[in-house]
Structures are given as structure tokens and as C-alpha cells.
């Protein structure tokens, strides 16, 4: 019997809901700016929920804001969060091949301050949304997005936690980790050739030295992009989907959120 991944199940649910007059998850394109750059994000929320709820910023892979992170945002909305998928590249900039994607990603990887500032512009949109509980916000990202949310944490952003799915862990200034206010969860393929062991070791030491509340979970037999079905299944390429790791990592994120967003009862 074939086991569906969490993303596949979410996709089916989304398709069913879209044909129903009683669909609860609402989505909308949100245009905003960072300086003179026009950006186009994607908001998702469940309109059956009344009042404010935790917010989750979602950061896309190196191909820009596309269908994958939109589905993830809808999935989060169905779980009771208000999710905002930010646009790191700019309105209409959606690379369609590895060469162009690498060119765009390199702009931000080589300028971490720009990466942080661009992400901060999106975070502000989420923080300012009337549905968002400003005291309960997290940021998650995939690949390039995973790198980005770690930089968001290193910038000292006021978020409860960040989750990196198969993202690079490097940073130009290891001392910036002392600015981290949030909890950090890294979900990593144990056999990811794009994030070598030396980089993982450096990251772990960075977190220890800064006394960050952090966790790194490795999934065996798993390489880069393990949550995305579009990555294919050829592990020898170093980039491949892994349904088991996809399911487990999503469950690990949910457990992390349960801890971050727990409402403490007054004494």
C-alpha cells in the first residue's frame, strides 16, 4: 500500500476544498515593498477561526515564490495558523531553470544583510496583519529559505522560533548568533552533499558558543530537498524527495510549534 506524504495529503485536501462552497482556507496575493523593490507575497488563513492566531512566515526555495510554498502555506493555514509566504526576489522574478535560480540566490547569499532586510520586510507584513498574534510568530524556510530564516534569527528578529528544512547552515559572521532571541530547529538530510559535515559541525559549535536554544535533527538515507516531490527520487544526484523524511520533518515542526505557541495559564 502506498503511503502518502503530508504534502500530498495536503494537496488533495486543498483541491477538494477549492471545489466546495464551504472552503475555509482563504488565500490572497499581497503586494508590498522593500525600499523601491515591489514584492508579491502569498497569504493563507482559515476564515472559520475567529480572532488572532499564531503566524508563520514561509520562505521559498531558490526558484522563488511558487506553487510549492503556496501549498505549504495553505497546509499551515488548515492547521490554524496565519501563514505568509514572502517574496525574496521581487514581483515577477521566478527563475525557471537552475542557472537563473542560482544567480538570484547568490545575490542574497553573498549579501546577508540584504537577505535579512528583505526577509524583515515580509515579516513586518505578517506582524501587521490583523489576524496575527504578534507574540506568537515563527519563520520556516526550505533550502534557500532555510538559510534565510537562520539569518532572520541571527539578526535578532523578534520571533519565537525558526525552522530550516534542508537549508545551508553557513553564515559570514559566527558571532551574530549571540543576537538570536528565538529557538532554532534545523531539519537536515544526514546524507546531504550540499551541506557537508564540516558546515554542520561549525553550525553546532556556533549555536553552543552563543548558548542558543537549538536542535538539529538528521534523517538517515536522506539528501537535499527531501520535502519537495519535484526533486525526483534519484538520490545519487544529491537532491531527492523522501516521503518518510517529509512526513517526519513536518511532524517535528508541529511539535516545535506546539512548544513555541503553548498558551500559559495564569498562576
Question: Which pLDDT score, from 0 to 100, does residue 17 have?
Answer: 43
Domain range 6-260, CATH class: alpha beta
Dihedral angle, C-alpha 165, 169, 172, 173, nearest 10 °: 100
Question: Which pLDDT score, from 0 to 100, does residue 264 have?
Answer: 54
Where residue 12 falls among pLDDT bands split at 50, 70, 90? very low
Question: Which pLDDT score, from 0 to 100, does residue 202 have?
Answer: 98
Position 19 pLDDT exceeds 60? no
Position 100 pLDDT exceeds 90? yes
Position 267 pLDDT exceeds 70? no
Question: Which pLDDT score, from 0 to 100, does residue 168 have?
Answer: 98
Instruction: Report how far residue 123's alpha carbon sits from residue 140's, in angstroms, rounded to the nearest whole number.
Output: 11
Give me the mean pLDDT over the 256-264 stretch.
87
pTM given for the model: 0.89
Tens digits of residue pLDDT in 167-187? 999 999 999 999 999 999 999
Position 60 pLDDT exceeds 70? yes
Residue 64 CA, distance from chain mean position: 12
Position 64 pLDDT exceeds 80? yes
Sequence ranges of the domains in the chain: 6-260
Where residue 23 falls among pLDDT bands split at 50, 70, 90? low
DSSP 176: G
Give me the mean pLDDT over the 91-108 stretch.
97
Position 139 pLDDT exceeds 80? yes
Q: Provide the strand spans (E) within the chain.
A: 25-34, 37-46, 53-59, 82-85, 132-142, 161-165, 183-189, 214-219
Question: Which pLDDT score, from 0 to 100, does residue 21 have?
Answer: 38
Where residue 6 falls among pLDDT bands split at 50, 70, 90? very low
Position 38 pLDDT exceeds 80? yes
Position 8 pLDDT exceeds 80? no
Residues near 224 by beta carbon (within 8 Å), at least 6 away in sequence: 143, 166, 189, 192, 193, 194, 195, 231, 238, 239, 240
Instruction: Report how far residue 86's alpha carbon sits from residue 141's, in angstroms, rounded to the nearest whole number.
Output: 10
Tens digits of residue pLDDT in 216-243? 999 999 999 999 999 999 999 999 999 9
Residue 160: half-sphere exposure toward Cβ, Cα within 13 Å = 19
CA-nearest of 238, 234, 4 to 143 is 238
Position 22 pLDDT exceeds 70? no
Q: Between residues 161 and 16, which one has the greater pLDDT?
A: 161
Instruction: Report how far residue 248's alpha carbon sits from residue 191's, in angstroms, rounded to the nearest whole number.
Output: 16
Question: Which pLDDT score, from 0 to 100, does residue 20 have?
Answer: 38
Mean pLDDT of the chain, nearest integer: 92
In this structure, what are the phi and psi dihedrals at residue 29, rounded to the nearest 5 degrees? -80, 135
- Residues 125 and 55: beta-carbon distance below 8 Å: no
Amino acid at each position: 500500500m502506498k503511503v502518502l506524504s503530508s504534502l500530498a495529503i495536503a494537496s488533495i485536501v486543498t483541491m477538494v476544498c477549492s471545489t466546495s462552497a464551504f472552503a475555509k482556507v482563504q488565500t490572497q496575493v499581497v503586494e508590498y515593498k522593500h525600499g523601491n523593490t515591489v514584492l508579491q507575497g502569498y497569504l493563507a488563513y482559515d476564515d472559520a477561526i475567529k480572532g488572532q492566531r499564531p503566524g508563520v512566515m514561509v520562505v521559498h526555495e531558490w526558484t522563488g515564490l511558487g506553487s510549492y510554498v503556496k501549498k505549504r502555506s495553505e497546509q499551515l493555514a488548515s492547521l490554524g495558523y496565519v501563514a505568509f509566504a514572502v517574496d525574496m526576489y521581487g514581483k515577477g522574478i521566478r527563475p525557471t531553470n537552475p542557472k537563473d535560480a542560482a544567480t538570484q540566490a547568490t545575490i542574497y547569499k553573498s549579501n546577508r544583510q540584504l537577505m535579512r532586510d528583505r526577509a524583515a520586510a515580509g515579516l513586518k507584513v505578517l506582524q501587521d496583519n490583523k489576524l496575527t498574534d504578534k507574540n506568537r510568530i515563527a519563520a520556516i524556510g526550505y533550502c534557500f529559505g532555510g538559510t534565510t530564516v537562520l539569518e532572520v534569527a541571527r539578526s535578532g528578529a523578534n520571533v519565537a522560533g525558526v525552522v530550516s528544512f534542508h537549508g545551508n547552515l553557513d553564515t559570514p559572521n559566527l558571532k551574530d548568533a549571540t543576537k538570536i532571541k528565538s529557538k532554532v530547529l534545523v531539519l537536515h538530510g544526514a546524507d546531504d552533499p550540499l551541506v557537508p559535515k564540516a558546515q554542520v559541525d561549525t553550525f553546532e559549535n556556533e549555536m553552543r558558543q552563543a548558548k542558543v536554544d537549538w536542535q538539529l535533527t538528521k534523517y538517515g538515507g536522506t539528501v537535499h530537498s527531501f520535502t519537495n516531490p519535484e526533486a525526483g527520487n534519484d538520490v545519487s544526484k544529491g537532491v531527492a524527495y523522501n516521503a518518510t523524511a517529509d512526513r517526519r520533518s513536518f511532524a517535528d515542526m508541529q511539535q516545535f510549534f506546539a512548544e513555541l505557541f503553548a498558551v500559559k495559564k495564569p498562576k
